[in-house]
Structure formats: C-alpha cells, structure tokens
Amino acid sequence: MNESTEISEFGIVLLFLIGGLMLTLIGMGLGSFLRPHRPNEEKNTSYECGEDPVGGAWQPFDVRFYVMALLFVLFEVELFFLFPWAMILTYEGAVAEWSLFMLIEGFIFVGILLVGLVYAWRKGLLDWIRPEARPSSFTSRIPEQIYKQFKS
C-alpha cells in the first residue's frame, strides 16, 4: 500500500471516533426526553453506604501507584521500540548476516530490559503491601499445634 492511502485510512479511524462519540451523545439526548429530572439535595450527595460523606475523595494517594506507573512507562517505551525491530528482523534481499546481527542487537536490548526488571524486583518495587500477621499476646491452653493441624 502506498503512503498517501495509508494516511487517508486514518480518516476512517477519525470517523470511528466521531461515531462512538455520536452514539453516546445521541443516546443521552434521546434519553433526556424520557427521563425525569428532579434532583434534590439528598439525592445528589456522594454515595457512602448511606452515611453522610466525610471529607472528599481527592486526597493524596499511596506512592506505590506512582512507582508502578513509572515502571510501566519505562517498559512500555522499550516494548514499543521492539516492534520495528520485529518487522525488520528478516526481510528479503538482506545480506546473509543481517538477521544474526539483528538478533544479537535485539538480545542486548532485551537484556537491558531484563536487568531493569531484576533491579526493580530486588529493590522490592514489585511487592505490593501485604497485611502482616501479628502474633497475639493471648495465650490459650490449647497448644498451637492443634490450630495448625486444623488450618492446613
């Protein structure tokens, strides 16, 4: 396929975007003739299981989400660099050693990716917070062994 038709194909993508938007907008528009509109104060409070909401939800969040997002960006960018590599790994009319060179280059690239993953792993960035089991100060007369027997 030549380049100009390739770019004009994105016009269809734009049509799909507009089509999807239109479906939701027209749906909402048609619905507005059918649905009631009687807001009141109680109805418009945030849902919090029937209690009056305390504070807002726009609060600082756990930094681990940020770390996860950062890791994702790193790996995703490297992943996207691998797609062109996959396309030219073999092609007709290349010199005989081409594929071998490409392969070695790809392996080095993926190797760096793996080193990054291992680093994040060893740093403990991939571990999510887990509740720790705290031993209770309560001592029962029934030996611990019997509990373990039933738990397993």
Partner 1 sequence: MFALLFFLLILPLNALIGVYVERKLSAFIQDRLGPLYTGRYGFLQTVADIIKLLQKEDIKPTAADKYLFKMAPSVVFMIVFACFAVFPFAPQAQGAQLNLAIFYILSILSLDVIGMMLAGWGSNNKFAMYGAMRAVSQMVSYELPLGLSLLCVVIANNSMDLQEIVHLQSLHQEPSYSGLAWAKWGGLFAWNIFQYPLLLLVFPIFLIAGLAQANRAPFDLPEAESELVAGFQTEYSGLRWAFLMLAEYGLMLLIALLAALLFLGGWASPLPNIGVVALDSWTSGTVGKISGFLWGFFWLFSKTIILILVQMWVRWTLPRLRADQLLRFCWKYLTPFGIVLVLLSALWRVFL
The number of residues that bind partner 1 (CB under 8 A) is 74
User: Which residues, including other chains, have CB under 8 Å from residue 98's CB and lie 6 or more apart?
Assistant: 90, 91
138 interacts with partner 1 by CB under 8 A: no
Distance CA(150)–CA(147), nearest Å, equals 5
Using rule CB under 8 A, residue 86 touches partner 1:
yes
Amino acid in position 41: E
Least distance in Å: CB of 36 to partner 1? 5
Structure tokens at 91: 């092609």
CB of 35 to partner 1, least distance (A): 6
Nearer to partner 1, 35 or 134 (CB): 35
- Nearest Cα residue to 142 out of 129, 131, 151, 132: 151
* Residue 116 found at the interface with partner 1 (CB under 8 A): no
Encoding tokens for residue 100? 């071998």
Site string for partner 1, 41-70 (x = CB under 8 A): x-xxxxxxx---x--xxx--x---x--xx-
